[in-house]
Structure 1
Amino acid sequence: MKRQKNRRGYPEDSVEGRHLKLNDLKEEASRARLQNKYLEKENIPTYPRAEFHVSHLNHDTNGSGCSGIRKDNGFKNPLKDSLLWWSLDVGPDEITSAERRLLETTYPDRTEEQAQMQQSFLEKFATSPAFQKSSRLGSYRFTFPLEDVLRAYSDQFCSGAQPVMRVFKTTLHKKEVVYTVLVHSPADQEPFSHLPLLTDDPDSVCSYKDGCFIWRSQAMCKEHGFELVLRPDEKQIKAEEVWYEQYYVWDNVAIALQVDGQVLKFDPNRLRENLKFCEKAEVTIAYEFQNYQEAQTLVADLWPDNPSPLEKAEEPAETKQEDNPNVSDSVE
């Protein structure tokens, strides 16, 4: 594992060219004599390894970032870095379809009556920041269909050719594991030829197929307050509450587009249509956040021809969490 400081000055440990499942990551950390009390935890309550098919990407930013995006009519790395970062947009629909796939795989021969008796369970485990509508990076979230982002990247950076996707790295922070996918132009093969191509391998952590990133989450809980229980006789899957919550690592997928400091451009009206306001997460990475009224004022100034109110990225009622003023953990 390679230790370095990321672009925000936080230490991180990474393995390039591999998306390591948790057991493999533990072995790598042990070989590197790296101590991480969350990754090393044992006896975590059983939880699902769900497969999420994701067709939209998010780009979160603060007020100055939003202003820069409007000025440029697109996205670039403000630090003049070569990479432009996006995250997967995993919402209630993706959780519901992942739950259905998990049930069909676990009990392919269940009856219609058994299927109707099955209660929703996956949402009780989908509690990490990867699933929450709040933001760790700022109050402004741009959400685009993945195919639109790839099409724009193809047209502007690949001369119309298909972008190349590669397994970039696995990065371990204090509580977070990030699996990064690199997207680059086919003209830039040589600098990245040492990185494996991203395939549709059904055993991989992340793959790409039919216009979706397929994320096979290794750790989807912010805290482990439920245990996954299989009932083979009934062909049911349950989420049973445990008496003592435990904290473990959680994972997500980052998409890094090679842009060499250039702007990935979009129509300004589309930028406004795909923009939402986000509440501040419990634990954050960035420091600049606005309340809704401040955000609405800024967006109205940036897009004066669009008088419609700024939409809010709302948490689903059943998973919305209250702010915890006692949180003292630092985030990478």
Structure 2
Amino acid sequence: MQRRYNSTGHVENFVEGFHLKLNDLEEATRGLGNKYLFNGRISDYPKPEFHVSRLKHDTGRDGLSGIQYASGFMDPKTGSLVWWSLSVGEEEIASAEKRLLETRYSNRTKEQAEKQGSFLGEFATSPAFLPSSRMGSFRFTFPVEEVLKAYSEQFCCGAQPVLRVYETVLYSQEVMYVVLVHSPANHRRFCHYPLLSHDPNSVVSYKDGRFIWRSQAMCNTHRYELVHNREEKQMESKEVKNPQFYVWDHVTVALHVDGQVLDFGVDRLRENLSFCEKGKPVTGPHWGFIDFPSAEKLVDILWPEYPSPLARAEPLN
């Protein structure tokens, strides 16, 4: 594994061109002394498949002003990549739970299915599922198809963008799987990265406007154990006596913009804007976070004609 410091000063251990599952990541990081990844006391937990149709871009107050001014997204530091994350909500969790059960107990009776209680939400505790933001107080949420269509029209002359396996990045407790999106015109520049696979065993794939994320570690603190009731063909969550910390994973999408702006127009930006509470651990600058009344005032200044109040990112029930 290689090591570097990112723009915020955090150490990143990374592997280019691979999305390493946790077993492979353990092999690649032996000797690094990561106490979370090598915690062998983790109880059984689900590894569901999420079908995600929305992307989110979190930013602070300075970033918000820059995005509004530019009418879109750019990379103010290196000019190269604009970063988004998968937006996973209640609908995605419910459908992932259904797929998990249908895969595990394909021959359940109707009565057994009706008795099944919800359990997957108990495990959805990592920052990947929370309404809070670690980057700043503002969140833009867009459909995947809209982002890729805008990218196609503005960067690919209408052609389909190319999606590639870019990196696996390991922080102390966080595993980030990065998908690279670029124009076909930049094939030579990025051809050494594998194309995003349709392999059902891959960590991330893309199909019909949705990223398919096969999560390897969806919990922040492991407070529950997954229990299989084989007789009733059901899955349940059971609280454990000694909660454990482990790594958690998520997926980011890096769009190559090469110093340009991915333009959505100021009105569309405002339609997709919401306020987020501060998450932990903070990875953006602390001055990027403000309270809700201050956020409302800033947004009213930037979009004085917009008729609706600033929305808050809603927590999972």
Q: Distance in 2 between matches of 1:136 and 1:122?
A: 23
The corresponding residue for 1:67 is 65
1:97 paired residue number: 95
Equivalent residue number for residue 206 of structure 1? 204
Alignment TM-score, normalising by the size of structure 2: 0.98
Q: Distance in 2 between matches of 1:78 and 1:123?
A: 36
Give the conservation status (yes or no) of the 8 Å contact 2:89–2:316: no
The code of the aligned residue for 1:221 comes to C
Match of 1:7 in 2: 7
Partner of 2:227: 229
Counterpart code for 1:19? H
Q: Is the 8 A contact 2:41 2:244 kept in 1?
A: no
Deviation of 1:80 (Å) = 3.3
Instruction: Write the mapping of 1:52-91 to structure 2, written as runs, cut at 5 A.
Output: 52-91=50-89
- 1:285 positional shift: 1.1
TM-score norm. by structure 1 comes to 0.94
Question: SS state of the match for residue 130, structure 1?
Answer: helix
Q: In structure 1, what is the equivalent of residue 190 of structure 2?
A: 192
On the 8 A contact 1:139/1:289 being kept in 2, the answer is: yes
Which range is displaced more, 165-174 or 2-11? Answer: 2-11
Alignment RMSD: 0.8
CA contact (8 A) 1:300 1:307 kept: no
After superposition, what is the alpha-carbon deviation per residue over 1:257-292, rounded to whole angstroms, capped at 9, x for unaligned? 000121000021110000000011132112120111
Say if 2:51 is the partner of 1:50. no
Q: Which residue of 1 aligns with 2:255?
A: 257
Deviation at 1:55, TM superposition (A): 0.5
Instruction: Report what 2:21 is aligned to.
Output: 21
Give me the whole-angstrom Cα distance separating, in 2, the residues matched to 1:302 and 1:130. 28
Q: Share of identical aligned residues, percent? A: 58
Runs of 4+ in 1 over 2 A off after TM superposition: none
Whole-angstrom distance in 1 between the partners of 2:45 and 2:19: 20
- CA shift, 1:7, in A, is 1.8
Query: Which segment is superposed worse, 172-181 or 301-310?
Result: 301-310
Number of equivalent positions: 315
Are positions 1:308 and 2:308 aligned together? yes
Task: Tell me how far apart the structure 1 counterparts of residues 111 and 314 of structure 2 sit (CA, whole Å).
Answer: 34
Residue in structure 1 matched with residue 167 of structure 2 by the alignment: 169
- Give 1:133 deviation, angstroms: 0.4
Who is 1:239 aligned against?
Answer: 237
Give 1:239 shift. 0.3
* Counterparts of 1:117 and 1:130, CA distance in 2: 29
| CA distance in structure 1 between the aligned counterparts of 2:193 and 2:7, rounded to whole angstroms | 21
Cα deviations by residue, 1:20-76 (Å, 9 ceiling, x for unpaired): 00000000011xx21101011113110001000000000000011001111000001
Task: Find the aligned partners of 2:308 and 2:145 in 1 and give their Cα distance.
Answer: 26
CA shift for structure 1 position 8: 1.4
Alpha-carbon contact 2:59-2:136 (below 8 Å) kept: yes
In structure 2, C-alpha distance between the alignment counterparts of 1:154 and 1:284, rounded to whole Å: 32
Residue 295 (structure 2) aligns with: 295
> Unpaired segments of 5 or more residues in structure 1?
318-332
Contact 2:6/2:12 (8 A) holds in 1: yes
Ranges in structure 2 where 5+ consecutive residues have no aligned partner: none
